[in-house]
C-alpha cells in the first residue's frame, strides 16, 4: 500500500515535471510565467546572458517564440516585446510563448548600431551558430538550441536601426514547402502589416540558415520577420503595430482567445531594389519613408563636406520607399534607400 502510494506520488511528480517548460534558466509551470536567461558561456571572448521569459499556458498547445533586439538599437521592437511580457496572461493561454526581447545586449548598452560590438558581427547573419565561435556565433548557437528547436513557430522582430528611416513591413519566406508556406502566409496576414516582402532567395540548408527566422523556416516551422520603427525612436504607432501583430498571430494559432484581424489586401513586394552610395559625404534625402517613387526620380543627393554635389541618387525602378538613410553620414558602399517593387499579381 505504502509502495503503491509512493509510486503514484512519483508518477505525479514525473507528469508535473514534463508539464513544465524550460528555456535556458527559465522554467515555467503550467499557467505561469518564468523569467531567466539563455546563458552563452565564455569562449574566445566574453560570456553573454540573453534575457528570456517563458509564458506557459494553462493548457498545452503550440509554442510560439518571439525574438527581438538582434540589433540592440532597434528600440521599437525591443519595447514591443517588453510590453508583450507584461501583457499576455498564461492562465488564459493554450500553448506557450517564449519571449526574447534583447539578443544583442552589448549593442543596446553601448548604443552601437547593426553589430555586436564584442566581435563586430551582425546578430542576424550567423545562424545556426557555432559552439566554438565568437560571441555572436555562440549566442546564435544557443538560441538555435534553446529557442528555435523548442518552438513550433517563430516571429523575429526588428525596428529600423539608428540610421534607418523605414516604413513598417514584414517578410514572407517562401521555402517551397506549400503547406508550410500557406501557414506562414496566414501568420503574416494575421500580423497585419500592409506591406509584405516575398523572400524566395533565402538559404535552404538548415546548417547554413544565416538568419534567425530562416533557421526556424528551414527546420519546418512556419515563421515570419516583421519590422516597425525608425531612427532610434519608440513611437507608439510602431510599438502598437508590433504588439497588435504578435497578439493577432497568437489568436490565429489559438494560443490566446479571440479572432485574429487578418489584413485583406496587403501590398506584396516581389523584389527590393537598393540604391548604394558611390561616394562618402553628406546625404540629403528628398523623399520620405513609405512614399511611392517613379523610376528615374531623384530620391536624394550626396555632397562633399564643402557642399559640392558628388552624386544624385535616382530610383532604379518604380516602387515604395521601404527604407531611406535617416542621418547625413554617408560612406561609400552604404545603402541610400531600398525601393520595394510591388508584384503584379
Ligand atoms: Zn534589425
- What is residue 25's three-state secondary structure? coil
- The Å distance, Cα 212 to ligand 1 centre, comes to 11
CA 336 – CA 341 distance, rounded (Å): 16
- The Å distance, Cα 29 to ligand 1 centre, comes to 32
CA 144 – CA 67 distance, rounded (Å): 12
- The Å distance, Cα 191 to ligand 1 centre, comes to 18
- The Å distance, Cα 69 to ligand 1 centre, comes to 7
- The Å distance, Cα 30 to ligand 1 centre, comes to 32
- The Å distance, Cα 231 to ligand 1 centre, comes to 12
- The Å distance, Cα 159 to ligand 1 centre, comes to 6
Alpha-carbon separation of residue 125 from 173, 245, 249 (angstroms): 16, 24, 25
The residue among 108, 106, 143 whose CA lies nearest residue 124 is 143
CA 148 – CA 127 distance, rounded (Å): 11
- The Å distance, Cα 179 to ligand 1 centre, comes to 28
CA 323 – CA 334 distance, rounded (Å): 13
- The Å distance, Cα 70 to ligand 1 centre, comes to 6
pTM of the model: 0.94
Tens-digit pLDDT string for the chain (345 aa) = 555 666 665 555 555 556 999 999 999 999 999 999 999 999 999 999 999 999 999 999 999 999 999 999 999 999 999 999 999 999 999 999 999 999 999 999 999 999 999 999 999 999 999 999 999 999 999 999 999 999 999 999 999 899 999 999 999 999 999 999 999 999 999 999 999 999 988 999 999 999 999 999 999 999 999 999 999 999 999 999 999 999 999 999 999 999 999 999 999 999 999 999 999 999 999 999 999 999 999 999 999 999 999 999 999 999 999 999 999 999 999 999 999 999 975
- The Å distance, Cα 75 to ligand 1 centre, comes to 10
Alpha-carbon separation of residue 47 from 72, 145, 331 (angstroms): 17, 17, 33
- The Å distance, Cα 124 to ligand 1 centre, comes to 7
CA 299 – CA 202 distance, rounded (Å): 28
- The Å distance, Cα 113 to ligand 1 centre, comes to 9
H-helix segments, the chain: 2-19, 75-87, 105-110, 135-143, 178-191, 212-217, 236-252
- The Å distance, Cα 323 to ligand 1 centre, comes to 12
The dihedral formed by the CA atoms of 119, 101, 336 and 238, expressed in degrees to the nearest 10: -170
- What is residue 145's three-state secondary structure? helix
What is the chain's length?
345
C-alpha cell at 324: 531611406
- Please say whether the beta carbons of 218 and 204 come within 8 A: yes
Amino acid at each position: 500500500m505504502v509502495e503503491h502510494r509512493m509510486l503514484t506520488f512519483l508518477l505525479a511528480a514525473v507528469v508535473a515535471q514534463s508539464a513544465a517548460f524550460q528555456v535556458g534558466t527559465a522554467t515555467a509551470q503550467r499557467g505561469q510565467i518564468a523569467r531567466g536567461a539563455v546563458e552563452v558561456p565564455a569562449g574566445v571572448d566574453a560570456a553573454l546572458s540573453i534575457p528570456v521569459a517563458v509564458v506557459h499556458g494553462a493548457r498545452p498547445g503550440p509554442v510560439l517564440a518571439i525574438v527581438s533586439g538582434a540589433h540592440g538599437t532597434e528600440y521599437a521592437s525591443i519595447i514591443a516585446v517588453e510590453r508583450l511580457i507584461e501583457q499576455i496572461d498564461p492562465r488564459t493561454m493554450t500553448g506557450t510563448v517564449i519571449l526574447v526581447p534583447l539578443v544583442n545586449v552589448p549593442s543596446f548598452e553601448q548604443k552601437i548600431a547593426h553589430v555586436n560590438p564584442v566581435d563586430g558581427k551582425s546578430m542576424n547573419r550567423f545562424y545556426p551558430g557555432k559552439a566554438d565561435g565568437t560571441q555572436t556565433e555562440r549566442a546564435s548557437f544557443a538560441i538555435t538550441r534553446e529557442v528555435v528547436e523548442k518552438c513550433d513557430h517563430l516571429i523575429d522582430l526588428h525596428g529600423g536601426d539608428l540610421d534607418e528611416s523605414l516604413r513598417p513591413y514584414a517578410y514572407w519566406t517562401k521555402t517551397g514547402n506549400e503547406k508550410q508556406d500557406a501557414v506562414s502566409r496566414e501568420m503574416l496576414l494575421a500580423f497585419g502589416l500592409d506591406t509584405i516582402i516575398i523572400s524566395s532567395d533565402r538559404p535552404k540548408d538548415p546548417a547554413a540558415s544565416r538568419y534567425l527566422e530562416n533557421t526556424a523556416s528551414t527546420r519546418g516551422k512556419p515563421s515570419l520577420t516583421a519590422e516597425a520603427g525608425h531612427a532610434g525612436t519608440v513611437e507608439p504607432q510602431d510599438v502598437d503595430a508590433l504588439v497588435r501583430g504578435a497578439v493577432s498571430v497568437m489568436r490565429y494559432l489559438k494560443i490566446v482567445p479571440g479572432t485574429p484581424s487578418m489584413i485583406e489586401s496587403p501590398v506584396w513586394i516581389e523584389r527590393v531594389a537598393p540604391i548604394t552610395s558611390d561616394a562618402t559625404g553628406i546625404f540629403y534625402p528628398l523623399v520620405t519613408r513609405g512614399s511611392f517613387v517613379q523610376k528615374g526620380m531623384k530620391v536624394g543627393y550626396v555632397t562633399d563636406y564643402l557642399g559640392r554635389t558628388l552624386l544624385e541618387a535616382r530610383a532604379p525602378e518604380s516602387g515604395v520607399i521601404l527604407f531611406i538613410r535617416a542621418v547625413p553620414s554617408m560612406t561609400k558602399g552604404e545603402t541610400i534607400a531600398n525601393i520595394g517593387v510591388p508584384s503584379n499579381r
